[in-house]
Structure 1
């Protein structure tokens, strides 16, 4: 009888099982099955594993302990012990049916349910350990249908208000949503930071039917602050839920892009849960009695190297150009990334794969000087044109310097001089120079970043193009900031973004660069600022600025060029990239100047 009952408990259908209530009244097996389903509540489709103990028999009564293993989630099982009583009548053994058979604390009218407890999401910290992403006040604005006097007018007024305030709220479906909602409902329009809501608050509240709700959201200091690398937090999407079945519930908050997405499991912690017996009270509310609880585990913070003041300065500087752009600032002494700024939502600072243009002359010059193929004072002619295997190379604006020393070629950014030196460097020498300055190495920042790819093409024309940053060589701003930092430091060190958790396999520090190579190269990069292509930076306060500009063609149209600047001042190295920036002197260099002035 016991075995048949336990089999029926699991299947939900009792065959060849007789039941009586505790009062002795017989009860139909089908009625027991119905009552069991009601008691099981949310577990009615999750049959438990049941393991019986040997029954104890006392005259006409028998008692059997049953170990119940009830699946709660894919990873959680609720284990408890209950007892089944049986009585022996004239027709044999009968199970004494009562709710306490399912769980000792259940009574008639109870139902098992699972209550999920969200964990406290952790913030993101800056290099000093202060919170960057932390709870900040927001206002949820919406409409309450019962208070609307003229829906069409309200929607039109809201659309005009949002347009004037440059708030992308989207009101096209608002009227339909208000009509479909209950009179007392809160029909949400948008959630705004306080600084965005305050200017429109009075006008918004003056419209009949508008309502607000104050909340706290995990946010960065501003909407744009390091957005492309930090990401955002918001309601979990279907795509995220599908990617990790069972990990999220509708309404959960999840990381949406950037570090928030990549480290979502760490930041969100582990949700808790309670199995409760619930029943409807006389006033219509539900009364819960906890039976099993797993406490939520709070998330762990993510500690970055970012410096909010430097990050804000970088973002403000990028705001001075209309084109898509990116800036990376590295603390030279330890490789810490102080700013990772992008003008849009795309993380160009880390993921762009674009030609470096003449900023790559820093790498080529390093290789040539280090190998003793040229000296800074050696005359290297700079003609207007230079031909390699029938392909003609030229300088920007058809510049022609004549017979000048190599340091002048570098300062004035002479392509033809570098093309003429390409055979002395060779593809292997070019690749070795790039590797010594971190390009193409296996980085691990704890977040995807492109470390660059130096041209491996061995043809004379490809090599001639590659030495001044064209051809097949492609880089990212963070890679080129690393190049500048390496020259300034005298050793390449992988940039650092995350302090906790630290990356699993960061690239090892490069070997110390030879002083006999560094001295002339640093002098040449300083000359770029004093008399070369970046003279706008020579009077920036805070110490001497050194660097290299770059104009990078990216297709077959010579007029289509990106603008670059890489360099350093004091303990900060920078790389600025402006997509379609054309002339560095009009885009990348002024951005750099604004940034350097702002952080002093």
Structure 2
């Protein structure tokens, strides 16, 4: 092998060391059948086989692939995958783009077809070298046409944050450094607040130059999808950061990070109702996709905040007026029921809201006489779908037009309604304040962007009734009372649960406010809204 590669196998664990790796131009190696120079020793010579890969095949294939990669032989490494055309250039880029001059790859013990490994590389730029260490893994599969044991190719093999279309680079950074601070001047870092990692990357990309940040020298991933921020992997020479003020509250952010960490999949956002300032945003898992801002899923009964506002505005019901709550109700061809088929009988609408009675809402649809009314209320009053400009990438919710049974499903936050924690936190904030204030992370004075504005506010009488109903949900026998018991101030809440793709346990949603702070959370397969998402929201409200 080239580059002075040495492979040592000790106790079933092998270490690949390549010194002075010379990654040059890339030419696709025509060795898929072992006919070209430097053939693939074990993998290409075996007869066509079928069935699951064996333990020996996993070890041998991983060893050969990692050896070829570390030795600076991207064409050979590519041929040891099930997609050599895509794999070869990415492996080559590890040396050429990232400017890796040495590489040591240590593989751990295989777990079935998966092989974890650690990369210890040296990156050299303009005569200066710096170490770069990280962990990744590969999976060995059997080739469909050849029967060979091959590495199942994906860019994340080379680096876990690498995606299709993205490339590795080392050099002068494209954007200036930032020192992001919270509303009180506390520095915000991805190390201390992991959920802010992707957000800080976007803020740097967008505002680094505007706040006077100077670029340094880095190794980074140049992102493929448009609108996605680049990801810094190694900082070789730190640039001079520009100070960027955000609306985040470090105390609330810390509480949010800790709260979502208790669950496998969870998101939470906190917003100040009177201004729209975003006080906290956290996701579990952290540091990856910002589901709190960019997710799209049914929000369950938390959307009843919007539905209740619409029904109150149209004069179809009042908070104290009777709204029957049977155990089930039929609308066109669809039958809807309450959780465990509970029924309340003829009770005030505020009690149906507080107990999250689905049927009380759906029974009123016939009187609305406009299947698009809910979407109009969501947009005209709560700002949903108005192209929010938060300062980073975000999705501002959707209540598409629907008819008959699908329209009824929307009334209780199911069907085609798409929301995330940011959207529901904003809806809750609007219910508290009475007027939509577009959520934002950085001041619009920084770039002159225009904030979205709803066409009207909630009428005072409707606003008062809606808050009273949310207060009932947060106290007494309301479904949010247990979760909100530890939260003080003028408070209100709404629970929700939503089934997605016929999952066994529904997603847990919870929305609430306390004084001038509103928050919403979703916990994947968390069950009833108050059981898990409620705990997350309460933690953030207490901290804020």
The question of a shared fold, defined as TM-score above 0.5 by the shorter chain, is answered with yes
Give the C-alpha shift of residue 189 in structure 1. 3.2
Give the C-alpha shift of residue 306 in structure 1. 1.3
Please give the secondary structure, in 2, of the residue aligned with 1:231.
Answer: helix
Pairing 1:452–2:393 present: no
Deviations 1:190-236 (A, max 9, x none): 59xxxxxxxxxxxxxxxxxxxxxxxx9985352614123223899x9
Pairing 1:227–2:197 present: yes
Partner in structure 2 of residue 108 of structure 1: none
Which residue, out of 294, 299, 317, partners 1:374? 317
Pairing 1:359–2:302 present: yes
Please give the secondary structure, in 1, of the residue aligned with 2:414.
Answer: coil
* CA–CA distance in structure 1, aligned partners of residues 273 and 365 of structure 2: 30
Partner in structure 1 of residue 438 of structure 2: 494
Do the aligned partners of residues 372 and 487 (structure 1) sit closer, same or farther apart at CA in structure 2, a change above 3 Å counting?
same
* CA–CA distance in structure 1, aligned partners of residues 334 and 281 of structure 2: 38
CA contact (8 A) 2:202 2:228 kept: no
CA contact (8 A) 1:225 1:312 kept: no
Do the aligned partners of residues 325 and 186 (structure 1) sit closer, same or farther apart at CA in structure 2, a change above 3 Å counting?
closer
Task: Map 1:344-493 onto structure 2 (within 5 A).
Answer: 344=285, 345-425=288-368, 426-435=370-379, 436-458=381-403, 460-493=404-437
Do the aligned partners of residues 217 and 360 (structure 1) sit closer, same or farther apart at CA in structure 2, a change above 3 Å counting?
closer
Partner in structure 2 of residue 252 of structure 1: 218
Give the C-alpha shift of residue 584 in structure 1. 1.5
Pairing 1:561–2:506 present: yes
Deviations 1:310-342 (A, max 9, x none): 11111111122x231111101122110011111
Task: Map 1:301-312 onto structure 2 (within 5 A).
Answer: 301-312=243-254
Partner in structure 1 of residue 494 of structure 2: 548
Do the aligned partners of residues 462 and 397 (structure 1) sit closer, same or farther apart at CA in structure 2, a change above 3 Å counting?
same
* CA–CA distance in structure 2, aligned partners of residues 420 and 402 of structure 1: 13
CA contact (8 A) 1:233 1:254 kept: no
Pairing 1:521–2:466 present: yes
Which residue, out of 264, 268, 286, partners 1:323? 264
Task: Map 1:338-349 onto structure 2 (within 5 A).
Answer: 338-344=279-285, 345-349=288-292
* CA–CA distance in structure 1, aligned partners of residues 245 and 450 of structure 2: 17
Please give the secondary structure, in 1, of the residue aligned with 2:322.
Answer: coil
CA contact (8 A) 1:434 1:454 kept: yes
* CA–CA distance in structure 1, aligned partners of residues 219 and 243 of structure 2: 16
Unaligned runs of 5+ in 1: 1-143, 146-150, 161-169, 179-184, 192-215, 237-248, 268-295
Deviations 1:330-371 (A, max 9, x none): 112211001111112210111111111100111000000011
* CA–CA distance in structure 1, aligned partners of residues 249 and 471 of structure 2: 26
Do the aligned partners of residues 256 and 516 (structure 1) sit closer, same or farther apart at CA in structure 2, a change above 3 Å counting?
farther
* CA–CA distance in structure 2, aligned partners of residues 397 and 586 of structure 1: 16
Task: Map 1:145-224 onto structure 2 (within 5 A).
Answer: 171-172=117-118, 188-189=132-133, 219-222=189-192, 224=194
Please give the secondary structure, in 1, of the residue aligned with 2:426.
Answer: helix
Report the number of matched residues.
Answer: 363
Deviations 1:208-267 (A, max 9, x none): xxxxxxxx9985352614123223899x9xxxxxxxxxxxx9963558789xx86779x9
Please give the secondary structure, in 1, of the residue aligned with 2:385.
Answer: coil
Do the aligned partners of residues 595 and 443 (structure 1) sit closer, same or farther apart at CA in structure 2, a change above 3 Å counting?
closer
Task: Map 1:263-282 onto structure 2 (within 5 A).
Answer: none
Task: Map 1:19-168 onto structure 2 (within 5 A).
Answer: none
Moved more, 517-526 or 590-599: 590-599
CA contact (8 A) 2:298 2:498 kept: yes
Do the aligned partners of residues 233 and 520 (structure 1) sit closer, same or farther apart at CA in structure 2, a change above 3 Å counting?
closer
Deviations 1:268-305 (A, max 9, x none): xxxxxxxxxxxxxxxxxxxxxxxxxxxx9966443321
Please give the secondary structure, in 2, of the residue aligned with 1:585.
Answer: coil
* CA–CA distance in structure 1, aligned partners of residues 223 and 291 of structure 2: 14
* CA–CA distance in structure 2, aligned partners of residues 257 and 569 of structure 1: 39
Do the aligned partners of residues 560 and 376 (structure 1) sit closer, same or farther apart at CA in structure 2, a change above 3 Å counting?
same
Do the aligned partners of residues 217 and 480 (structure 1) sit closer, same or farther apart at CA in structure 2, a change above 3 Å counting?
closer
TM-score normalised per structure 2: 0.59
CA contact (8 A) 1:355 1:473 kept: yes
* CA–CA distance in structure 2, aligned partners of residues 407 and 570 of structure 1: 20
What is the Cα-based RMSD across aligned positions, in Å? 3.9
Unaligned runs of 5+ in 2: 1-101, 110-115, 123-128, 136-176, 180-188, 206-214, 233-237
* CA–CA distance in structure 1, aligned partners of residues 217 and 191 of structure 2: 24
* CA–CA distance in structure 1, aligned partners of residues 397 and 132 of structure 2: 45
* CA–CA distance in structure 2, aligned partners of residues 505 and 544 of structure 1: 31
Partner in structure 1 of residue 167 of structure 2: none
TM-score normalised per structure 1: 0.54
Give the C-alpha shift of residue 545 in structure 1. 2.2
CA contact (8 A) 1:232 1:255 kept: no
* CA–CA distance in structure 1, aligned partners of residues 293 and 276 of structure 2: 15
